[in-house]
């Protein structure tokens, strides 16, 4: 898979900052306050080994980043039965703040918004929920988030 990147925002108790999230289809990577983070999923992002982090700069649990909110938009193709492909925007908001994690995903396509009503952190299931809502003949193409 070709690496993909999306612009977004990171927020925690110390403030917010713009960031870029990159994936190769198996690993997510981002840099927050000059520290590189990587992981197989958003809830397993941890500092890259060998990169020191200042004590107290990030909330870590078992080496994984916790107590934060990530927001990002990513372009996704939507195909129709006639083979035409249109670009849509998938807006994502992930909160790993106590007491409960939360994932909000909405697809902006054709002047409408299709949102998942699922209360879970599995991107694949949330995207399947959105796929079921699309107009007949439209299909959300596979996303790099399906594998994460």
pLDDT in tens, 22-40: 998 889 999 999 999 999 9
pLDDT winner (highest mean) among 7-16, 50-59, 73-82: 7-16
Task: Name the pTM for this structure.
Answer: 0.86
pLDDT in tens, 69-86: 999 999 999 998 888 999
Give percent of the chain with pLDDT exceeding 70: 89
Q: Report how far apart, in Å, the C-alpha atoms of 142 and of each of 74, 120, 146 are.
A: 13, 19, 7
The two tokens of residue 101 are: 């994690």
**Residue from 61, 64, 67 nearest 48 by CA:** 64
Beta strands in 24-131 (DSSP E): 28-32, 35-39, 46-47, 60-61, 64-65, 69-80, 85-95, 102-109, 112-115
> Once rounded to an integer, what is the mean pLDDT over residues 99-128?
85
> Once rounded to an integer, what is the mean pLDDT over residues 41-65?
84
pLDDT, mean over the chain: 88
């Amino acid at each position: 898979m070709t690496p993909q990147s999306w612009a977004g925002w990171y927020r925690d108790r110390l403030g917010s900052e713009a960031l870029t999230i990159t994936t190769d289809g198996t690993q997510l990577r981002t840099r927050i306050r000059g520290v590189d983070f990587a992981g197989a999923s958003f809830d397993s992002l941890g500092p890259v080994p060998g990169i020191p982090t200042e004590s107290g700069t990030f909330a870590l649990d078992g080496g994984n980043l916790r107590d934060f909110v990530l927001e990002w938009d990513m372009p996704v193709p939507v195909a129709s039965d006639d083979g035409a492909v249109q670009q849509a925007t998938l807006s994502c908001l992930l909160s790993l703040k106590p007491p409960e994690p939360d994932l909000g995903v909405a697809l902006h396509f054709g002047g409408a918004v299709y949102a998942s009503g699922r209360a879970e952190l599995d991107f694949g299931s949330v995207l399947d929920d959105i796929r079921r809502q699309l107009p007949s003949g439209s299909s959300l193409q596979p996303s790099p988030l399906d594998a994460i």
